Structure 1
Amino acid sequence: MKEFVEYPDRDLMMLDLADRLTGELAAALRGNDRATLCVPGGTTPGPIFDVLSEQALDWDRVSVVLNDERWVDEDSPRSNTALLRRKLLVSKASSATLIPLFKAGMAAEDAMAELSEGLAPHLPISVLLLGMGADMHTASLFPGADNLAAALASDAPLLMPMRAEGAGEPRITLTAPVLNGAMSKHVVITGAEKREALERARHLPVEQAPIRAVLAGATVHWTE
């Protein structure tokens, strides 16, 4: 872990984190033709997306990709892609390019080659934001998942289909090497339970605490 930043409240954390991500994206765009922002789904990053979407960046030069996606159609309330379209890819950020992690009408396993081909030109990730569950999963790297070992391996492919008891529906996830290849890494967590889980994770094998696979060099942001 590079840094642990503790905030007095969630509003301040979300504003500060959005400001950091904006600054890092701007820096990436100054030195490169394009930048790639990789973000989690779920409810926690929503306020960050609200702020980010209003920032004056060259969003037409930014590619956005999820850490992972549930293998559901966009009309499902469980779709992270639909969440991104509502919360991040609006206002000034509406000109960003969304890199898909779902292919309608196909099984996840059958779509890996096509989705990986679409993702590859946008790597490495410039700025990465991750979350963490109380079970110490991040992205869709779940303890006990069927393809966890392969997704953690140094020679893992870009994307991996994933099924796990705690995941609900099938998932697709960026693998550990792709996440760790990011130029800048941030992890955002809230609440005492997740802070305790993060502390436990540092003393457990990575297979039991997959968050460990991405903590090296990451800045962790926490508040109650």
Structure 2
Amino acid sequence: MQFVEFKNTDELNLQFADRIAKILANAIDAKGKASLVVSGGRTPLPFFKQLSQADIDWSKVSITLADERWVDKSHEASNTALVLNNLLQNKAADATFVELKTKETSAFGAEPSVAENLKALSFPIDALILGMGEDGHTASLFPCSEQIVQGLESNEVCIAVQPTTAPHERMSLTLKSLLNSEQIFVHSVGDSKKVIIDKALAGDDVLEMPIRAILKQDSTPVDIIWAP
């Protein structure tokens, strides 16, 4: 695990976007396609806009989310809409977006449909970008949810989750799927997130802080990308 600190968010967004673009371009050169998994929220929006201008063959890139709230694209909480409106723009408009949200009414029972959609992605994922919540959750692997143990231990590609501390049912990639990546990045900004990172690194209980299952493993390289 490496901690990569930038002096400000502008520098982070510029250099991080350049690094991701190079990873994708190298994957395209090596195997003719590339896969990118991103996370929602407000933190990555300027990064998405920077990355969308990268001069690579986006037609050979497939993109999906690490997790999604079970809401329609018209809903303000939709991460799908956030990615479509901020990342799949400019040159990146040619990329293929693989949706986690399906037509099923509930996320529970929709896992087979989502898993089928995810077959359009090439595993291992070339680059996975995760966020991290104040409670130490990542993707939708919430410590408060009844599904946390299953999410950490399941061999399935995805899992429906109902957090008790956040609204909406979710669909999340399982820990096994998240770790099936060539490179993982934990993207965080601000002093409060640095405190959470330090707390996560200081302990070992993954049920208390699921982000530890990412940070404290040695099967997949992890870089923490941070700026104050």
With the shorter chain as reference, the TM-score category is over 0.9
Question: TM-score, with normalisation over the residues of structure 1?
Answer: 0.95
2:129 alignment partner in structure 1: 129
Q: 1:146 and 2:146 equivalent?
A: yes
Q: Secondary structure at the match of 1:103?
A: coil
Gaps of 5+ in 1: none
Q: How far 1:43 sits from its partner (Å)?
A: 0.6
- Say if 1:189 and 1:222, in contact at 8 Å, map to a contact too: yes
**Which residue of the partner structure matches residue 21 of structure 1?**
20
Per the alignment, residue 89 of structure 1 pairs with 88
What's the CA shift string for 1:99-120, capped at 9, x where partnerless?
A: 1100134211222101101103
1:199 offset after TM fit, Å?
Answer: 1.4
Q: Is the 8 A contact 2:32 2:60 kept in 1?
A: yes
Partner Cα distance (2:144, 2:165) in 1: 9
* Residues 72-91 of structure 1: per-residue CA shift (max 9 Å, x gap): 01000100001111001111
* Structure-2 separation of matches of 1:136 and 1:77: 23
Partner residue, 1:62: 61
Query: Is the 2:132–2:211 contact (alpha carbons within 8 Å) kept by the matching residues of 1?
Result: yes
Whole-angstrom distance in 2 between the partners of 1:53 and 1:186: 18
Q: Find the counterpart in structure 1 of residue 226 from structure 2.
A: 222
| AA of the residue aligned to 1:133 | G
Compute the displacement of 1:143 (Å): 0.9
Is the partner of 2:225 in helix, strand or coil?
strand
Runs of 4+ in 1 over 6 A off after TM superposition: none
* Conserved 8 A contact 2:24-2:34: yes
What is the root-mean-square deviation in Å for CA atoms of aligned residues? 1.2
Aligned to 1:78: 77
- Measured against aligned partners, the alpha-carbon deviations of 1:131-152 in whole angstroms (never above 9, x if no partner) come to 1111111110111212110110
2:106–2:169 Cα contact (<8 Å) kept: no
Deviation digits for residues 191-220 of structure 1 (CA, Å, limit 9, x no counterpart): 222111111112140011100111242000
State the SS of the aligned residue for 1:85.
helix
* CA distance in structure 2 between the partners assigned to 1:53 and 1:191 by the alignment: 23
The answer to whether residue 161 in structure 2 is matched with residue 157 in structure 1 is no
Q: Quick one: distance in 2 between partners of 1:199 and 1:156?
A: 29
Q: TM-score, normalised by structure 2?
A: 0.94
Provide, for residues 167-190 of structure 1, a one-character-per-residue CA deviation record: whole Å limited to 9, x for no partner.
211111011111111111111111
SS at structure 2 position matched to 1:25: helix
- Across the two proteins, how many residue pairs are aligned to each other? 222
Kindly state the Cα deviation for residue 156 of structure 1 after the two structures are TM-superposed. Answer: 2.6
Q: Counterpart of 1:100? A: 99
User: Would the aligned equivalents of 1:141 and 1:148 in 2 still touch at CA under 8 Å?
Assistant: yes
Counterpart Cα distance in 1 of 2:23 and 2:93: 19
12-21 vs 118-127, greater mean Cα deviation? 118-127
Report the equivalent of 1:199.
198
Distance 2:157 2:109 in 1: 14
Q: Please give the alpha-carbon distance, in whole angstroms, between the structure 2 residues aligned to 1:32 and 1:61.
A: 10
Q: CA offsets per residue over residues 31-87 of structure 1, 9 Å max, x none?
A: 112111000011100111101111111111100000100000100010000111100
SS of 1:187's partner is strand
Q: Secondary structure at the match of 1:109?
A: coil
Distance in 1 between residues matched to 2:225 and 2:52, nearest whole Å = 20
| Alignment check: 8 A CA contact 1:73 1:104 kept | no
